[in-house]
Amino acid sequence: MILIIMPWGRVGSNLINSILSQHLKPINGCVYNEPTTGLQTRNRGQGAQAIAVAQARWWETFAAECEENSAIAANVSIASIEEVNWFISCVEESTAKVIYLDRINVVKTAVSSIKAQQYSRHSEKMYGKPSWEIPVGREPLKEFYVDPEQLVNSIQRLERHRANQRRLQSLCPGLNINYEELAPDIPTAIRRITDYLKIPAREYKINSIKATANDLQNEIINFSEVLDRLPVDYQSQLLAK
């Protein structure tokens, strides 16, 4: 069993999922991309209990599949888990090899999520299908608007999810990869993953491009307004390049 765990998206998970899939496929493995998020979305109208039950059933099925094939992986967002304590217990009791993804700059994580939502709507309009990642050959959004209140709320939620992930990491140590080390040096990060999983290193193809520029002043239309509305402790993260 291989678990790729993140607080929520925009931490390089699409890149890792794609490259890891290319390594696992030749040994009859695969990566399930955010199955718990899909269950959360599909069962939201039925309430929290329905989501929790669906996710528990998924875990049972996933764990059973992994007993038959250790090259099966799943990417799980802490934000999607209805019962976090239950999930932590599941990981503790498992023999999973866990890869933890995170991004030190929480503001840029939240901004990237807001931009990805806008790109998803744009891609559905332009190409007939919503997508949060940008395939090679397509152009990212050049400029976008950020609602300051939405950004602050997103940061607060992300901090809660990161706290839950850190709690899990303290109980179930694994391989930690931050976006800040992944983005500038993908080969080194992938080598760390293949060494940790003890799987053969292979050639791979990068299928998506970076969605958000390092310098957000060149992209956020209302940058000054967003900066002014951010709590002081977070302003330096928005200004980071």
Q: State the average pLDDT over residues 39-66.
A: 96
Q: Is a pLDDT exceeding 90 seen at residue 211?
A: no
pLDDT tens track for 121-170 = 888 888 898 887 888 888 888 899 999 999 999 999 999 999 999 999 99
Q: Is a pLDDT exceeding 90 seen at residue 213?
A: no
Q: Is a pLDDT exceeding 90 seen at residue 233?
A: yes
Lowest mean pLDDT among 87-101, 137-151, 176-190, 226-240: 137-151
Structure tokens at 198: 């003890």
> Is pLDDT larger for residue 137 or for residue 231?
231
Return the CATH fold of 2-239: Rossmann fold (3.40.50)
Q: What is the pTM of this model?
A: 0.93
